[in-house]
Structure 1
Amino acid sequence: MNHRRLPFVAGFLLVPIVLYAMYVVSPFVQTVFYSFTDWGGFSSEQNFLGLGNYAALLGDEVFQKAVLHNAFLLVLMPLTTILIALFLAFLLNVGGRSDSAGVRGVRGSGTYKVVLFFPQVLSVAIVVVLFQSVFRTDGLGLLNATLIKLGLVDAARPVQWFSNPDLVLWCLLFVMVWSGVGFYMVLFSAAMRSIPREIYEAALLDGAGRAPTFFRITLPLLRDTVSVAWVYLGFIALDGFALVTGLTPESGGGGPNHASELISNVLYRTAFSQGKFGYACAMGVALAVFSLLLAVVQLRVTRRERIEY
């Protein structure tokens, strides 16, 4: 019977496998090949360089800065987003009063979830336009105008948010966290709702406060969900191309003076502005390998036996 099903199943899988190989595997294989050449992208002429492009990456100061900036976001962006999302999810689901009906979330939690999730439905272009107004470097920007009204900033010298090398990465971190925290709050809320209420009620009857309940019950039971969220946020932190390009000064993003440069921005500019497609492919391969290693390490570190409840 199984042998009779094999042609039927193979017939359904053949087309998806061919499409996947054509549009995913094949471009990646070509990228790896071109990373060993000096291909300019617009001609068939190419010379084989071996590991020359990868050796050049080790001496490229702009690329090294971009790696450090990606590492900065890779550490702080997932950590901050997950902490805020966990706090909001716990507050909205089990942070309210307990009564005869059991443990409740705060009043109006449904409305709060919609409001907090709203940034997730905005496109990157809208987020860029929004925060260009918020972080304007004159007194008309929302943030600068507020600080001037409070007397915290001199009106003659407003804060240069995205033009200040010391502030630009922190501003980008804020935008990334703001735009992503709502989605993970909803994700963690859904995971918390799957935890039986009797567990929380038993903990409250035993005299456990909200903090011990969160750290000893909620967080351990959400470990798998948090692990997956951390991997996805890590990928977002390694990208950030659209936000950096739209929000930071200088052509192609990454300013001022490469202070907000990310690997994706260096890769794009190297390929399409400088015409060094082979070198850019080497950057892409390095970024892809690092992303895969990140996912493997994260999943291995957080792997455990499934908890049944």
Structure 2
Amino acid sequence: MTAVGTPIGKVGGATPPAARRLRRRDFTFDRVSFFLVFLIVPVVGYVVFVVSPFAQAAYYSLTNWSGFSPGMDFVGFSNYTKLFQDQTFLQSMGNSVALAIVLPLVTLGIAFLFASLITIGGPSNGPIRGLRNSSVYRVITFFPYVVPAIVIGLIWKQIYDPSSGLLNGFLTGIGLDQFTSFAWLGSPDTAMIATMFVIVWGLIGFYTVLFIAAIKGVPAEVYEAARIDGAGRLRTALTITIPLIRDNIQTAYIYMGILALDAFVYMAALNPGGGPSNTTLVMSQQLFTTAFTKGQFGYACAMGVVLALVTLMFAGVVFLVSRLTGGNDEGVAE
């Protein structure tokens, strides 16, 4: 028996041999090397290549550095004051926010539809499976994603060409003469819509495959039980599939939103000048022009800081909405 008042794990005030051996193993070579390789090195790399450049950009945003001169003057927050009085930048911010709202909803919605059809959209009788020849559809939907974004942009720019583009040629060929020499990327009414279509077309395959993998992780017994209870395909998708792959949808939404807030490659290929009346100009385009064309790196760094903050706010809103809508709840909705 241990003496009254003696801490648990000690006999007569002495540390048990097992505890001493455990303490000696705390700083073995294997343990230290493990922390060094898998914790310290990644953290140092993250600080050097992510945190440090951002901090440097934040500092430059408080100066009037031209990007090509050795000296610079500290101007405080005057770049930010000028930034929110710049109508062109404010328009580019509005375009970027519009892309971040529309593109994830459309892309992920279509991708989820395709993934559901390919995995569980088959016959109502027999085992749970997708449509016939679903592997062919999977390859077809994923194919655009393997093509580089800049190539996709250049290809679709030729397709949208008013005089010799494939799209106008097809439309006029079926009798729609109003599309003769129609400038899809040159009209303020259609430039942004045409650009969004290209981005959705290029990215939908990746998210389709992502959702296919997530849906295949759901036990087939769950879908069989829903089928026995008489749940249709729409109800199964809304009450079973979406809740069970909520984390995958949240991750995909954040990733797609970040890409939409940037969208530099697609915009540079389709609308290098920002489109008609800057209707397709995004923040990353305006940043690039300000830095490398106008030689105002300090001002451009301020744009970069604002873009980073908008991206963080977007991710925060997605997490908040997910939490408020039951993102932490487990189980299948009744």
TM superposition score normalised by structure 2: 0.86
User: Which AA in structure 2 matches 1:44?
Assistant: P
Which whole-Å CA distance do the structure 1 matches of 2:211 and 2:130 have between them? 14
Q: Are the aligned partners of 2:149 and 2:202 in contact in 1 as well (CA < 8 Å)?
A: no
Deviation at 1:258, TM superposition (A): 1.5
Alignment of 1:1-309 (within 5 A): 1-4=25-28, 7-12=32-37, 13-100=39-126, 102-138=127-163, 140-154=164-178, 157-248=180-271, 252-303=272-323, 304-305=327-328, 307=330
Which whole-Å CA distance do the structure 1 matches of 2:151 and 2:118 have between them? 27
Structure 2: stretches of 5+ with no match in the other structure: 1-24
Which whole-Å CA distance do the structure 1 matches of 2:131 and 2:258 have between them? 32
Q: For residues 141-180 of structure 1, what are the alpha-carbon distances to aligned partners after superposition, in whole Å with 9 as ceiling and x for unaligned?
A: 111011101222336x421011112211111110111111
Q: Are the aligned partners of 1:144 and 1:153 in contact in 2 as well (CA < 8 Å)?
A: no
Deviation larger for 17-26 or 126-135: 17-26
Deviation at 1:209, TM superposition (A): 1.4
Q: For residues 107-138 of structure 1, what are the alpha-carbon distances to aligned partners after superposition, in whole Å with 9 as ceiling and x for unaligned?
A: 00011101100011000122022102211111
Q: Are the aligned partners of 1:247 and 1:253 in contact in 2 as well (CA < 8 Å)?
A: no
SS for the counterpart of 1:296 is: helix
Which whole-Å CA distance do the structure 1 matches of 2:328 and 2:284 have between them? 36
SS for the counterpart of 1:103 is: coil
Which one has the largest radius of gyration?
2
Deviation at 1:43, TM superposition (A): 0.9
Q: Supply the RMSD in Å over aligned alpha carbons.
A: 1.7
Name the % identity: 40
Which whole-Å CA distance do the structure 1 matches of 2:312 and 2:191 have between them? 28
Which whole-Å CA distance do the structure 2 matches of 1:214 and 1:234 have between them? 23
Moved over 4 A (4+): none
Q: How many residues align?
A: 303
SS for the counterpart of 1:282 is: helix
TM superposition score normalised by structure 1: 0.93
Deviation at 1:25, TM superposition (A): 2.0
Deviation at 1:308, TM superposition (A): 5.6
SS for the counterpart of 2:178 is: coil
Q: Are the aligned partners of 2:254 and 2:315 in contact in 1 as well (CA < 8 Å)?
A: yes
Q: Are the aligned partners of 1:98 and 1:104 in contact in 2 as well (CA < 8 Å)?
A: no
Structure 1: stretches of 5+ with no match in the other structure: none
